[in-house]
Structure 1
Amino acid sequence: MSQTYGIEKPQGHIERPQRQPVRYVVVIDSGGAAVSRLFLATRHQVDEYDGGVPEVAQMIQGLQPVKSANGPEWDAALQGHSTQERQAADVYTLEV
């Protein structure tokens, strides 16, 4: 008979590399609805939300956006958006 009564001892902590923080929030029109896309400093997209969710509003609160994501650094990241959508986009840079 086991002395643990069916409850196992927790395993030791495993060190893993930490995830990189989100650096950019791009609020862009996508088919008539605002979408908030989150990017790392490398412009790799890590998440996407509806444009009006409160969590995104909290992230960008007090920050001034740069209008337009038409630069070449955004070409690969926003390739599914039209030139007009990219020009109207708000790009927020988060403090890291």
Structure 2
Amino acid sequence: MSQTYGMESPREHTGSHLRKPARYLVVIEAGGYMIARLLLATREMVAEFDAAVEEVGSMTAGLVPVVGALGPEWDVALGGRSTEERANALVYTLDI
């Protein structure tokens, strides 16, 4: 029989690393809808959601976007998007 009486003692916290912060927010058209993608500084996508949510507005408040994501650095992150969609994409650099 165990000495925990059915309840396990909490484990000690480990010094694990936190997630890296998102560096870019890309608003791009996808099939007639605007979507937002959060990307790390390495341009690895960490989230994708509807660009109409109010959180997008709060994240981009006061930021000026760069229009277009046609450079080779965006090829992997926006692969599958047309040249026109990428040319019209709004790229926000988020404060970390």
TM-score (norm. length: structure 1): 0.90
Q: How many aligned positions are there?
A: 96
Instruction: Map residues 51-62 of structure 1 onto 2, 5 A cutoff.
Output: 51-62=51-62
CA distance in 2, matches of 1:9, 1:78: 46
Instruction: Map residues 13-92 of structure 1 onto 2, 5 A cutoff.
Output: 13-92=13-92
CA distance in 1, matches of 2:20, 2:50: 22
Structure 2 segments unaligned to the other structure (5+ residues): none
Aligned partner letter, 1:23: R
CA distance in 2, matches of 1:42, 1:27: 17
TM-score (norm. length: structure 2): 0.90
State, as a whole percentage, how many aligned pairs show the same letter: 55
**Aligned-partner SS, 1:76:** coil
**Aligned-partner SS, 2:29:** strand
Deviation at 1:9, TM superposition (A): 2.6
Deviation beyond 3 Å, 4+ runs, structure 1 = 1-8
CA distance in 2, matches of 1:2, 1:42: 48
Aligned partner letter, 1:20: K
